[in-house]
Amino acid sequence: MWRVALAVLGAFGLAVSGGCGSRQSHPEFIYGVPSVVSIEVTVSDGTPARVNAVVRGVVRDACTHIDSVRQSLDGDVFSLKLATRRALADTCGDAETPFEATIPLVVRGLQPGVYEVDAGGVSATFYYQREGSAPQL
């Protein structure tokens, strides 16, 4: 009976500490942040207007891709946090590789005005008008 209880507690402890198959002991991917070079903002003429941030930059190699984008709005500044992912098993040279990501900005309920988009320390501004307009930079 004690052996069964100890075995169950041991298995529980191993699972809680991240034992078998955890990311820490056998990572499958390498995560990082790309280097952003430029941002271009486009505003559609439709109603409602659609706003896209076109982010250009470089990733560490051809095996590295943009994995996720987190977007937030604080006042009049859209912040974009890009993350990269590369499979550990992939073999690529160390040559930096350019990327381009088009990111739709969430503008629902946005008041008309001048806004800034920031990603990786690079920024661009645009004018948003509810009726839809061409960007005025």
Which residues does residue 81 pair with via DSSP β-bridges, in sequence order?
Answer: 70
Higher pLDDT, residue 29 or 46: 29
Core vs surface per residue 89-119: b (16+ CB within 10 A) or e: eeeeeeeebebebebebebeebeeeebebbb
Cβ pair 136, 101 in contact under 8 A = no
Domain count of the fold of the chain: 1
How much of the chain, in percent, has pLDDT values that exceed 90? 61
The pLDDT of residue 47 is 76
In a domain, 11, yes or no: no
In a domain, 22, yes or no: no
In a domain, 18, yes or no: no
How far, in Å, CA of 58 to CA of 33, rounded? 10
In a domain, 1, yes or no: no
Range of the domain at 65: 28-128
How far, in Å, CA of 74 to CA of 40, rounded? 19
pTM (whole model) above 0.85: no
